[in-house]
Amino acid sequence: MTSAAAGPVRLRARLDTPLSRWLWLVKWLLVLPHAVVLALLWVAFGVLSVGAFVAILITGRYPYAIFTFNLGVLRWTWRVVYYTYGALGTDRYPPFTLGEVPDYPATLDVGYPEHLSRGLVLVKWWLLALPHYLVLAFFLGSSSYVAYRAVDTSAPDAGWSFDGGLIGLLALIAGIALLFTGRYPRGVFDLLLGLHRWVLRVAAYAALMTDAYPPFRLDLGGADPADLPVSVDQPLGSGAEGERRTASPGPVTPSSSTGWSGGRATAVVIGALVVVAALSAVVGGAVLMTTDRGGRDADGFLTTGPIPVTSPGYAVVLDPMELQTGAGAPELGTTLGDVRVTATGAAGSAVFVGIGPADDVGAYLAGVERTRLTSRQQDGRSAPQQLPGGAPATPPAGQAFWVASDGGPGARQVTWTAAEGRWAVVVMNADASRPVTAQLTAGVTAPVLGGIGTGLAVGAAVALLAGALLVVLALPRRSRQP
């Protein structure tokens, strides 16, 4: 029988002994610097993987400089995972390097592919890898321990929820065993390494670093199958049928000298962050331009859908809005434009809608039973406040402080040019009766929206080119070693 065939991804680890009983309890704090750096490196990993995708699609080759960077990120991540709550297999602090560290207890190698399929690159990272993603979801979970309180008026409950996946659970078992016995269960270690080996094989495949489909197999233990002797049935001649020879697979890893200095890696990370931010800004600019051109009604307003407003009292007051401009900024009438509010009473009843200074509105409705719609959220919805009181002394139309108001049966509409100040929108029955039931629609012209979108998109496109150029210039230029 032959042993497991060597693949392009080789993961190795040794269990350090002795291990501290308590150090694992604070490793989450010790590893914070690595978490910050890795978060940035993974942004660069994603950007460079897109570049590798394009290169493979055109040339069938994975750019060597990008390959060594992405392999370095995977190596760094594996060392940190092994040190922390992915395995707790060593107390040796992980080094801050993209390069290979052969004497560290956890190592990872991925063979550089001479050629990759141009067709597979279109589907392997999502469609072909999908069965593995389902398995890995069970292995990884969301890597969190959660204490929760379920609020239920009928049955209050409290408890603990574990959502760290199988890997997190096994690492927790190992940590508890260390704490109480000082020993790491060898069976747990072997299973954890098999699970991580599966995860990283899929990671390399999804990152386009190999065309070798990951096996659905747990190769347990710290030694990689490639390090074990492979028995190969091979005839040695007419008189030697059935004899066996032992073959050892050759090295498949790139050169340990990758050319990635700290300065180059930093430049790539900065360029990748610029690229990601620029892409987000491009999308935002496109959304603004699309909204400006296609989201306006016949009168040029950007409007909300009808919002039902009700109150058992005499008025509905929207949370006051504060409109201010900075020094030297254009006037609100130029930037925000006109504001339009439309109120439609229930069953053709006469309704009143008005916009006025918040202080004057507050003085008019002081002591009046009303509903205030606030911006505070409760269970994902606005939380109205019911304020007690009596009826207003006079109907709303008789007040002189409104900057815009309208009342009567059917839909009533007010249009007001935005100005600095603190303003409130009020909806009442025209005769100041109770209760209040209406549909409210709001709109704004925002004349500068299209210009902002265009400027944002153009500026983001320039930043995108600059970020991409920074990434390209930072790539090591030396040729690949055989």
pLDDT digits (tens, 9 = 90+) for 161-180: 456 689 999 999 999 999 99
The reported pLDDT for the residue numbered 75 is 98
* Cα–Cα dist 40/36, whole Å: 7
Q: Tell me the average pLDDT of the chain.
A: 87
pLDDT at 249: 40
Residue-level pLDDT at 323: 87
Fold of 301-322+333-375+384-444: Jelly Rolls (2.60.120)
**231 pLDDT exceeds 80?**
no
Predicted confidence (pLDDT) at residue 234 exceeds the cutoff of 70? no
156 pLDDT more than 70: no
Is the pLDDT assigned to residue 444 strictly greater than 90? yes
pLDDT of residue 257: 57
pLDDT at residue number 121: 96
Is pLDDT at 272 greater than 70 in this prediction?
Answer: yes
**pLDDT greater than 80 at residue 309:** yes
Model confidence over 280-298: pLDDT tens digits? 999 999 999 999 988 899 9
How high is the pLDDT of residue 428?
Answer: 96
pLDDT at 305: 84
Query: How many percent of the chain have pLDDT more than 90?
Result: 75
Tell me the pLDDT band of 229, cut-offs 50, 70 and 90: low
| Number of residues in the chain | 482
Q: Kindly indicate the confidence band of residue 142, based on its pLDDT and cuts at 50, 70 and 90.
A: low
pLDDT at 369 over 80: yes
What is the predicted pLDDT for the residue at 145? 42
Please answer whether residues 380 and 322 qualify as being in contact, where contact means their C-beta atoms are separated by less than 8 angstroms.
Answer: no
Whether 43 shows a pLDDT value over 80: the answer reads yes
Binned at pLDDT 50, 70 and 90, residue 20 comes out as very high
State the pLDDT at residue 479.
46
pLDDT band at 319 (very low <50, low <70, confident <90, very high): confident
Yes or no: say if 177 and 149 are a contact pair by the CB < 8 Å rule. Answer: no
Confidence tier at 147 by pLDDT (50, 70, 90): very low
